A and B are shown apart, each in its own frame.
Chain A
């Protein structure tokens, strides 16, 4: 198996799962529908086209810089033309859109080498404009980090930490722990299920399937770290016996 790695970074991103109507929320990490949608756009697959090969890809995301939740308040108005020719402006429902500000993610997509190479090339010369979950959130800097012949899990551990130098300097430890969210392997016990596997992006019948995910952490070297990590804090050890996990 091979993987293509993506750097998802920008001032704002938004990865919704179940939002409807005027309250548009975001998850804390990129969703599978968001990343597959981005890859499909790069390949030039239209919304009504079948997703085919993309449905079998595995996704893993590492939260390199979590950023912060931001709410954007949005108003809209529409003109109403009277018969007399006067125009009055009517307010449409107020809406709240949520974004992740200042976040950086590593997204790793696993599949057959030929497919993964095609994705990497497409990300470098995308057919449709790409964005991080919402059209007003273009990525900062190029997205594609390249293809490597490792497994999804290995890639999540071995890719260098993508957080900004400022964040790396703030965390003084030589080794930092980063949260990951990835597809559960066959037979693996999932942490939870979320409904973000795209089946069809056709606007007439959008369809998403449930996805079993595993939330875990990985240890990554901090190039700007100076302090050795402290031994894990386990107050229960005073009582003897085995540590809880």
Chain B
């Protein structure tokens, strides 16, 4: 099987905004190339991407992250075998003990003393895993020794395969059973502005609507910090690892589609109502590689300056193209395939890097290539 690595490079301008802020309310920043840049952390954009999955994938392909796993499994058991309703809670708890996840009665938070047991931490389980565990529990319910029957049904394996798409992409930690951890197949870099950025302060006053005469001053004053930037965003998906995690070619293809769509279109929600900074990228470049993923952020180590004509997006597009070409020639790292989705004349330089297509076609063609490469013998 070929190695298949999908690099996604995005140039995206956001107007005055504060997508991701630190503990003092300032937009996050980082120094790169000796100057301060606007930054949106990878964790912020990963969450936005994960939330956007709901628009692209069926809930059966997504996971639930909860401590209340006993309740979740018990209700699945009851749905499948209503006659077991009385025992469902106990069966569910037994099942998780057999898996190796400790479940305990929750700390009393109210009068409800019959609450189901909980895990001590958040467990990420896919819908398929819950269904498989429910089936195993129902099977074992008839046995004399339920615990033994569950062990024989290899419930631990059931909780460790058929991962949801989001677990396969972003990973999972299981504190009690670290061999059930899943290593993420996607990497997301912190987004950085391609140019130097200073944080600005918006001084505002708010007027008291019901106070027209007595006081002529403001009802309150304050400041909101913001900046506006052209961001370089980068993520890479290792399709081979994704296939390992999901164990199914169709699911892998759907996960790649969903990730590209969601990563391109999503936006963290920080101060969204204040700034309405919803934009779509000016340019998306997707490169499929067969050796190693390559982040092209080096293109912007020298901060981009605004040009007289075209502004910074034109300069950024040219810098990105030049870096991609330099790397291809100096290191003999030609991508296997590449597509460009872009808007406006200022991003025309990127046409040198791949076939220009609209995003839906990009996703379709990428999915077809990934599926073909994952099935071909190498």
Q: Is the CB of A128 within 8 A of B333?
A: no
| Residues of chain A within 8 A of B30, CB atoms compared | 11-12, 70, 99, 101-102
Q: Is the CB of B65 within 8 A of A78?
A: yes
Q: Is the CB of B301 within 8 A of A164?
A: yes
Report which B residues bind A (CB closer than 8 A): 3, 5, 22-23, 28, 30-34, 37, 41-43, 65-66, 68, 122, 178-179, 181, 183-185, 187-190, 192, 234, 236, 238, 241, 290-298, 301-302, 327, 331, 333
Q: Is the CB of B292 within 8 A of A138?
A: no
- Least Cβ–Cβ distance between B192 and chain A, in angstroms: 6
Q: Is the CB of B41 within 8 A of A136?
A: yes
Q: Is the CB of B297 within 8 A of A11?
A: yes
Q: Verify if A50 is at the interface (C-beta below 8 Å from B).
A: no
- What is the CA–CA distance of A9 and B291 in the complex, to the nearest angstrom? 19
Q: Is the CB of A129 within 8 A of B31?
A: no
Q: Verify if A131 is at the interface (C-beta below 8 Å from B).
A: yes
B34 interface neighbour in A129, A143, A166, Cβ under 8 Å:
A166
Q: Which of B33, B293, B301 has the most CB of A within 10 A?
A: B301
B189 interface neighbour in A79, A124, A137, A202, Cβ under 8 Å:
A137
Ranked nearest first, the 4 interchain pairs of A and B with the lowest CB-CB distance are A203-B178, A136-B42, A125-B291, A73-B22
Q: Is the CB of A125 within 8 A of B292?
A: yes
Q: Is the CB of B23 within 8 A of A94?
A: yes
| Residues of chain A within 8 A of B333, CB atoms compared | 142
- What is the CA–CA distance of A78 and B121 in the complex, to the nearest angstrom? 11
Given contacts A12-B190, A136-B187, contact A130 B179 (CB under 8 A): no
| Residues of chain B within 8 A of A135, CB atoms compared | 184, 187
Q: Verify if A1 is at the interface (C-beta below 8 Å from B).
A: no
- Least Cβ–Cβ distance between A93 and chain B, in angstroms: 13
- What is the CA–CA distance of A81 and B238 in the complex, to the nearest angstrom? 34
Given contacts A73-B23, A101-B30, A128-B183, contact A138 B295 (CB under 8 A): yes
- What is the CA–CA distance of A74 and B298 in the complex, to the nearest angstrom? 26
- Least Cβ–Cβ distance between B38 and chain A, in angstroms: 12
- What is the CA–CA distance of A174 and B48 in the complex, to the nearest angstrom? 48
A138 interface neighbour in B23, B31, B41, B293, Cβ under 8 Å:
B293
Q: Is the CB of B291 within 8 A of A11?
A: no
| Residues of chain A within 8 A of B5, CB atoms compared | 129
Q: Is the CB of A10 within 8 A of B297?
A: yes
Q: Verify if A141 is at the interface (C-beta below 8 Å from B).
A: yes
A110-148 CB contact bits vs B (8 Å, 1 = yes)? 000000000000011110111100011111111100000
Q: Is the CB of B66 within 8 A of A141?
A: no
- What is the CA–CA distance of A66 and B297 in the complex, to the nearest angstrom? 18
Residue of chain B at shortest CB distance from A130: B292
- What is the CA–CA distance of A96 and B190 in the complex, to the nearest angstrom? 16
| Residues of chain B within 8 A of A48, CB atoms compared | 179
Q: Which of A68, A123, A166 has the most CB of B within 10 A?
A: A166
Residue of chain A at shortest CB distance from B68: A81
- Least Cβ–Cβ distance between B106 and chain A, in angstroms: 11
- What is the CA–CA distance of A116 and B294 in the complex, to the nearest angstrom? 22
| Residues of chain B within 8 A of A128, CB atoms compared | 183, 238, 241
- Least Cβ–Cβ distance between A29 and chain B, in angstroms: 18
A211-244 CB contact bits vs B (8 Å, 1 = yes)? 0000000000000000000000000000000000
- Least Cβ–Cβ distance between A131 and chain B, in angstroms: 6
Q: Is the CB of B298 within 8 A of A141?
A: yes
| Residues of chain B within 8 A of A123, CB atoms compared | 292
